[in-house]
A and B are shown apart, each in its own frame.
Chain A
C-alpha cells in the first residue's frame, strides 16, 4: 500500500525543482534524433546503436534516474523538510516505498515513452515495447540504488555519476565480468528479449538481468529503510 500523502508531496516537490525540469528535454532529444535519422533516410542498423543505446540506455535513462532518484529524498534531507515526514508514527518502509514509487513512475514514464517512440521509429512497436520494458526494469533498479545513495552519502549525485560513467560506461565495456553488476546491461538484455530485434544484443542472459535487477532493487530498498531508521539531525545548532 502506497502512502498517497507522501507520494503527492514528493511528486509536487519534484516537478517544482529546476534541476529536474532542465532534464526533461533529454528524452525529447532522443526521439528527435531518431526522427531526424529516419527523415534523412539512414538505415536503423546504422543509427540504432549510438542513438538507442549510446544516448538512450547509457545516458538519458541513468541520468534521469539519478536526478529523480536522489531528488525524491535527498532534496528533503538537504532542506530539512524531511523532518516533518519523519516525525510521524509511520514505518520507515512506507516512506521509502512511496518515494521509490514516485521516482520509478516519473523515470519510467518520461524515459520509457521516449524509448518507445524511438524504437517505433527505428523498427517496430515490438522494439519500442522492448525498449520501454527494459527502461521500466532499469528505472526500478537505478531508482532504488540512487535513493539508497541519497541516504548513505552527502554527495549522492557525484557517486551515482561515478557508477554510471566509470563502472557502466568504462569498466563494463572493457571487463566483461563487471557486466553482471551493470543495470545498463540488464536493460539491454530485457529490451533485446522483449523487442526480438537484431538491432540490440544483450550481453547478459535474461534470467541474470531480471534476477540482478531484483537484487539491486531489494538491496537498495533494504539499505534505504535501514538508513532512514537511523536518520539523525545535526546536533548543535544553537
Chain B
C-alpha cells in the first residue's frame, strides 16, 4: 500500500484577523499535520475565525494560511483534499440524507458517487435513516449526515467546528471513535470545542486559543509539565502515609504535603525532580507506594492555568 500523496499539512504563519478595531485572531503561527488536534478555547477566543480562515471562508488580515503550500483564500481547489463541518447546522432540509450526501459526492465529481455516498453514510452509522428527509432528523442525526457529506471524498484534512453539539452520549462516543480512526489513518483532523472533556477524550494534542492568541500548543500533559511556575499536585497512597509525608517534607522539590484519609496530597515544584526522588525516599523509609497520580494534569487544570495567566 502506498501513502496518499495528497497534501495534508495546514500552516498558519503570523496570521491575524481583525474586524474594525476588534482583533479576533492575533499573530498565530501553527502547523497541523496528520493526527487529531483539538482546538480549545473559551467562547470568543477566535476558534471559529481560525477555522474559517483555514477552510478558505475568510481572508487573513495579515499573515498566511496555506494548505499543502497553497493559500486557502479564493482557492476552491483546496476542497479536493479538505472537508469542512461548520458550526452552523444549516442543511438543505428538503433533501433526504441520502440525496444530501450523494449531491456532495456529485459536486466533488467522484467517479462512483453512489458508492462514495454509501461508504460515507455507513461510516457515520446513518444507513437506517438515510431515506428520511433531513427536516425530520434529530440534531445529532443532522450533525452526522453533515459529517458524512464532508467525508464523502475521503479528504486528507477534516475541519470540524464544535462537532459534538447536540449529540447524545452514544453518538458522541461513536464520533470520537471515528475521529480517532481518521487520525490513525493519517488524516489531519482539527476539531474545535469549548468542552474540555471532549478534547481530552479525543486528542492529546491541543491548540489552546485565549483572547485571539495561541496560548499553548502541543500535548497538554507536556504543556502542564512546562508550567514550572505552578506546583504540580500528586495524590499518593502508601503503606505508611504519615512516615512518607515526613520524609518528603525534607525534599527540596516538595513545597507542601497534606495528610488526609485517602492518602497524601503533595505539591511539588518540579515534576521531574520529584518523580525521581519519590522512589528513593520510599525505599529508604521502607514504605511501599501503592498509588501515584498527578492530580492536576487534566486538560481542565491546564486550561484554567492558561486562561488565568
Contacts and interface: CB of A to CB of B under 8 A. Distances in A.
Contacts of A175: none
A236 B44 contact: yes
A5 B107 contact: yes
B183 interface: no
Interface stretch (B45-53, B217-225, B234-242, B288-296): B45-53
Interface stretch (A27-35, A75-83, A111-119): A75-83
Interface in B10-24: 17, 19, 24
Residue from A79, A83, A89, A236 having most chain B Cβ neighbours under 10 A: A236
A89 B78 CA distance: 7
B76 A236 contact: no
A6 to B, nearest CB: 7
A176 interface: no
A87 B108 CA distance: 9
A41 interface: no
B111 interface: no
Interface in B168-198: 192, 194
A9 interface: yes
A84 B107 CA distance: 10
A198 interface: no
B59 A9 contact: no
Given A230-B59, A235-B49, 15 more contacts: A5-B106, A6-B107, A9-B92, A80-B86, A81-B90, A84-B90, A84-B92, A86-B57, A88-B107, A230-B74, A232-B52, A233-B86, A235-B48, A237-B161, A238-B161
Closest 9 CB pairs of A and B: A80-B90, A233-B57, A88-B107, A80-B88, A235-B49, A89-B79, A5-B106, A237-B48, A81-B90
Interface of A: 3, 5-6, 9, 12-13, 16, 79-81, 83-92, 229-233, 235-238
Interface of B: 17, 19, 24, 43-44, 46-49, 52, 55, 57-59, 74, 76-80, 82-84, 86-92, 94-95, 100, 103-104, 106-109, 149-150, 161-162, 192, 194
